[in-house]
A and B are shown apart, each in its own frame.
Chain A
Amino acid sequence: MAHAAGYPAGSDAGAIIRLQDVHKVYDAGENAVHALRGIDLSVEAAEYMAIMGPSGSGKSTLMHILGCLDVPTAGEYLLDGTPVSRMSSRELARIRNRKVGFVFQSFNLLPRATTLRNVELPMLYAGIGRGERRERGLEALRKVGLADRAKHLPAQLSGGQRQRVAIARALVNSPAILLADEPTGNLDTRTGQELLGIFDELHAQGHTVILVTHDMNVAAHARRIIHIVDGLVADGTSSALEAEGAVA
Chain B
Amino acid sequence: MTIHESVLDGLTDVRSHKLRTLLQTLGVVLGVASLVAVQGLVDAGRRRTLEFWSETGGLTKLLIVNRPPKELKITARQLASRSLTWDDAQAIKNEVPWARLVDPIASTRLTVRYGDYQKARDVSAATPDYPSVYKFYPARGRFLTQDDLESQSRVAVLGDTAARTYFGNEDPMGKTLYIGDVGFTVVGVMKRKEFYFNDGDHNALEWMNRQTFIPLTSLYTRFTGDASRRVNYINVVVDKAENNRKATEAARGVLLRRHGGVVDFEVMNRGDRLARAEEQGRVFDLTFLVTGIVSLVVGGIVIMNIMLASFQERVREVGVRKAIGAKGTDIAVQFLVESILVTCIGGALGLVLGVGFAKGITELLGEPAVITPKMALVGVVASVATGLFFGMYPAFKAARLNPVEALRYE
Contacts and interface: CB of A to CB of B under 8 A. Distances in A.
Interface of A: 64, 67, 69-70, 89-90, 93-94, 96-98, 102, 104, 108-110, 112-113, 121-122, 124-127, 169-170, 173
A97 B330 CA distance: 13
B317 interface: yes
B1 interface: yes
23 contacts: A64-B404, A67-B323, A69-B323, A69-B407, A89-B327, A89-B328, A93-B328, A94-B327, A96-B322, A96-B323, A97-B324, A97-B325, A98-B325, A102-B323, A108-B316, A108-B320, A108-B323, A110-B321, A113-B9, A125-B325, A125-B327, A126-B325, A173-B325
Contacts of A70: 403-404
A170 B407 CA distance: 16
B404 A96 contact: no
B324 A125 contact: yes
B403 A69 contact: yes
Contact of B326 (A104, A109, A125, A170): A125
A108 B322 contact: no
Q: Which 9 A-B pairs have the closest CB atoms?
A: A97-B325, A125-B325, A93-B327, A108-B320, A122-B324, A69-B403, A124-B1, A69-B404, A112-B16
Contacts of A104: 320, 323, 407
Contact of A112 (B13, B327, B403, B407): B13
Contacts of B90: none
Contacts of A93: 322, 325-328, 330
Interface residues of B, number: 24
Interface string B139-159: 000000000000000000000
B12 to A, nearest CB: 5
Contacts of B404: 64, 69-70
A110 B8 CA distance: 14
A183 B166 CA distance: 104
A66 B225 CA distance: 111
Nearest to A110: B317
A110 B323 CA distance: 13
Contact of A125 (B1, B317, B319): B1
Most chain B Cβ neighbours within 10 Å, of A64, A125, A169, A173: A125
B5 interface: yes
A108 B325 CA distance: 14
Dominant SS at the B interface? helix
Interface string B1-40: 1100100010011001000000000000000000000000
B406 to A, nearest CB: 9
A70 B405 CA distance: 10
Contacts of A64: 404
A126 B328 CA distance: 14
Contacts of B330: 93, 125
Interface string B319-359: 11111111111100000000000000000000000000000
B88 to A, nearest CB: 77
B407 A90 contact: no
Given A64-B404, A96-B323, A102-B323, A124 B328 contact: no
Contacts of A67: 323
Contacts of B16: 112
A96 B323 CA distance: 6
Given A104-B407, A108-B407, A110-B317, A121 B12 contact: no
Contacts of A170: 324
Contacts of B407: 69, 104, 108
Interface string B170-209: 0000000000000000000000000000000000000000
Given A64-B404, A90-B328, A125-B1, A112 B12 contact: yes
B9 to A, nearest CB: 7
A109 B12 CA distance: 15
B325 A122 contact: yes
Interface string B283-322: 0000000000000000000000000000000001101111
A193 to B, nearest CB: 26
A104 B321 CA distance: 13
B321 A121 contact: yes
A115 B316 CA distance: 18
A177 B120 CA distance: 106
A129 B212 CA distance: 79
Contacts of A97: 324-326
Contacts of B317: 110
Nearest to A113: B12
Nearest to B320: A108
A97 B322 CA distance: 9
B13 A102 contact: no
Contacts of A173: 325
Interface string B223-238: 0000000000000000
Contacts of A127: 1-2
A70 B406 CA distance: 12
B193 to A, nearest CB: 64
Nearest to B12: A112
A176 B327 CA distance: 19
A35 to B, nearest CB: 11
A112 B9 CA distance: 9
B63 to A, nearest CB: 66
B327 A121 contact: no
A125 B325 CA distance: 6
Most chain A Cβ neighbours within 10 Å, of B316, B322, B329: B322
A94 B325 contact: yes
B327 A90 contact: yes
A39 B320 CA distance: 26
Contacts of B319: 108
Contacts of A112: 12-13, 16
Given A112-B16, A125-B330, A127-B2, 9 more contacts: A69-B404, A89-B328, A90-B328, A90-B329, A108-B319, A113-B12, A122-B324, A170-B324, A173-B325
Nearest to A109: B320
